[in-house]
Chain A
Amino acid sequence: MTAVRPSYSATSTSTPIAQRPPLNGHKSSSGGDGIARTKILLLGLRRAGKTSIQQVLFNNLPPKQTFYLETTMRIAKHTIDTVIPLEIWDCPGNITIDALAPLSQFSTMIFVIDIRDLYNQPISKLVEFIEAAYHDNPNISLEVFVHKAEKLQEDDKIENFRQIHERVSDRLLDISPEYEQMQLNFHLTSVYDHSLHEAFSRVLHKLIGSLPYLEELLNVFCSNSQSPKAFLFDTRSRLYIATDASPVDSATHNLCCDYLLMLNSFGPLYKSISASPPRLRQPVPATPPPSASSSASLLSPSSSPAPVTPTTATPLHPSYPHTPSPTSPTTLKSKPKDLFYPSAATSLNSSAPGSGTTLTYHLITPQLALLALLPTSVYETRRGLVEYNVVYFREGIQEISDVEQEVRGGG
């Protein structure tokens, strides 16, 4: 094995193109393409669900098909590019610690336990690995996925989850009292609903160095657009990278995941061979065109178009304007910039009149999308302003992602 990588705290990068070739048995820790990747270890007994987790999240495998997955025989390393480049090591059930040494190369260790398995075996193995990992790298993130939660009824689910949690903690305490401060996170997951996405999203948050900046951008966006909740999602895996400070409600998260799934499925349905290509992005001309497909210069029909003045690129944390302005200035950069980003909005009625919510989707980078809830009244009357805010938000995120890409040496 090659040299150990330090823990990734300050920098992380993203590459725009997602690729997933499995690399088997490579010694190089940088995946062969020169990018420094964050490594995640997927462990567990056989048939616990490790490969199905990786396939469902990153390979779009329908959950019902996971039944047919073959047993993993050797360590499979999957390179995945979300907002940061990842390398997920999917291990066979009988893997030993020596085969994975040094354990310090991993930023996160995910142990998958079948929720019905209350016997000692998985717990002993888990404790063994925890000890070894903690010994090598006390900062490693330890996660336990209590998986296949769909197999049990509600009460049994919670009961088993609690039991597993307790037994692991007890065992660790037996070994050494200092393990009490160990940060061990338990998640109840299932491939059949969105609990897996939520759990993995939380795991991912700990790995993203620029998370505070992303969250801050989201917070500013939410407070200025009157949005009660906004998520930054990775469109392909439907994991959320960041969210604003308000608490995450599972129901809202599920709705957003479903919405994203629907939008992704819609894309190819009405793709026209003859008419679609001309819609694709055009480079920025000197003056912003009046083209309606540009969400940057979108004007609500009732406002009168005033002369638009181009301004130079804004700094990383722009201050959002509080007064409504009738126009939204576009910005010019030295390199040609995409003017058109897909967007969508779904309005939902709720029982109380006048309090409907609109779920908006704006593509930020080819991989990331902003999903924000807005009160329908705000969306309808102030749509132009919201989209103006999105433009600044987008620039912030793009700058962060460009910087990260540079640092990681991506390409």
Chain B
Amino acid sequence: MGASGSGKTSMRSLIFSNNPASLASRLGATIDVEQNHVRFLGDLILNLWDCGGQDSFMDSYLSTQRATIFQQVGVMIYVFDIETREMNKDLEYYRDCLDGLRQFSPDASVFLLVHKMDLVREPKVATFDKKKKELQEASGDATISVFGTSIYDESLYRAWSNIVHTLIPNATILSRHLTTFAEACSATEVILFERTTFLVIATSSSSSTTSMPLSLGTDEPEVDPHQLDPIRYERTSELIKAFKHSCSRVREEFHSLEMELYDFTAVLDEMTRNTYVMVIVHDPTIETAAVKLNIRLARRKFEELQGDSLTS
């Protein structure tokens, strides 16, 4: 949910429909609620309710359609346009929605996305922090996660990876298995992506890096001997997705990737029907073929795990 023109539909188009950011300008206003059933991880169905933000629709959601909209909600994602001129009105609608949510789905998680960050002049961090404080105050005592996003860079992938992470039932188990797999490959890191959206599902926690970039934007100093770039996950999602799109323009479908560069070796290949795995190795004696062999051997276990995830 969010005000009209804040960017809800374009986000959906980018992440779930795999349209490039350049096509977002062609999207029109959403009329009432657009429901999308998105297949995620194969068997998990995400029921996305893209709610049109014009005032008349918002008023109706909060009154006549209140029960329909706010019942059985798993996650509420509220989008704020950083450049909005009607902050007070936005905040008021937001508070009303939060009330509606608490009334009908008290266990739902709340994510707030401060969108169109690309339009903000430097320093962006200061502007974002100010906004975040404002939103935290407006939310009262509800636990919320706030992210700054833009469809033109990797920040959107970061926010959405965090959002879907909460929907995957056995994320910690997956992470544990990925860690074992990483050790078997002598890899520095192993990342599991969802196939269509390329959002990060789980990562291996090697040495002392945490398994997922935490929400709430906390900057915990991580004692990471490799000191890898903190935005690498979302940046990888963004790059691969852009490349996949280029491939589709030549009517070819991206399948797998391996690279041996000066700084590292990486293999990106299918793991299960719905996931891709990326293995990063820093040891120069490891061949990509060996990693691929390991992936092939691990496939069955991960298929099993995924099957379990949906029954648990």
Contacts and interface: CB of A to CB of B under 8 A. Distances in A.
Interface stretch (B133-141, B175-183, B194-202, B243-251): B243-251
Interface in B120-134: none
A344 B284 contact: no
Interface residues of B, number: 44
Given A269-B229, A272-B226, A343 B259 contact: yes
A291 B284 contact: yes
Contacts of B261: 263, 266-267, 342, 344
Given A254-B246, A266-B261, A267-B261, A272 B228 contact: yes
Contacts of B280: 270
A212 to B, nearest CB: 29
Contact of B263 (A251, A252, A276, A349): A276
A158 interface: no
- Give the size range of A's interface with the partner: 35 or more
Interface stretch (A175-183, A238-246, A293-301): A293-301
A346 B244 CA distance: 11
A269 B286 contact: no
Most chain A Cβ neighbours within 10 Å, of B254, B264, B287: B264
Contacts of B265: 293
Contacts of A279: 262-264, 282, 284
B273 to A, nearest CB: 14
Given A275-B282, A342-B261, A270 B255 contact: no
A345 to B, nearest CB: 6
B298 interface: no
B239 interface: yes
A280 B261 CA distance: 10
Interface in A280-335: 280, 291-293, 295, 298, 300-301
Contacts of B293: 301
A293 B284 contact: yes
A291 B285 contact: yes
A259 interface: yes
Overall SS of chain B's interface: mixed
A255 B263 contact: no
Contact of B260 (A259, A271, A343): A343
A344 B260 CA distance: 6
B253 interface: yes
Interface in B223-278: 225-229, 232, 235-236, 239-240, 242-243, 246-247, 249-266
Nearest to B269: A347
A361 B260 CA distance: 10
Given A278-B284, A350-B253, A345 B225 contact: no
A351 B225 CA distance: 44
B289 interface: yes
Contacts of A273: 225-227
A272 B227 contact: yes
B215 interface: no
Given A276-B282, A301-B289, A270 B264 contact: yes
Contact of A293 (B226, B239, B260): B260
20 contacts: A252-B250, A255-B249, A259-B243, A262-B243, A269-B236, A270-B228, A274-B226, A275-B283, A276-B263, A279-B262, A280-B262, A292-B286, A293-B285, A298-B287, A301-B290, A342-B262, A344-B260, A346-B254, A346-B255, A349-B254
Interface of B: 188-189, 225-229, 232, 235-236, 239-240, 242-243, 246-247, 249-266, 280, 282-287, 289-290, 293
Please list the 5 inter-chain residue pairs (A to B) with the smallest Cβ-Cβ separation, ordered nearest first.
Answer: A344-B259, A275-B282, A272-B226, A258-B246, A348-B252
Given A255-B250, A342-B260, A349-B255, 14 more contacts: A254-B250, A262-B242, A262-B243, A265-B235, A268-B263, A269-B235, A270-B264, A342-B262, A344-B258, A345-B257, A346-B254, A346-B258, A348-B254, A350-B251
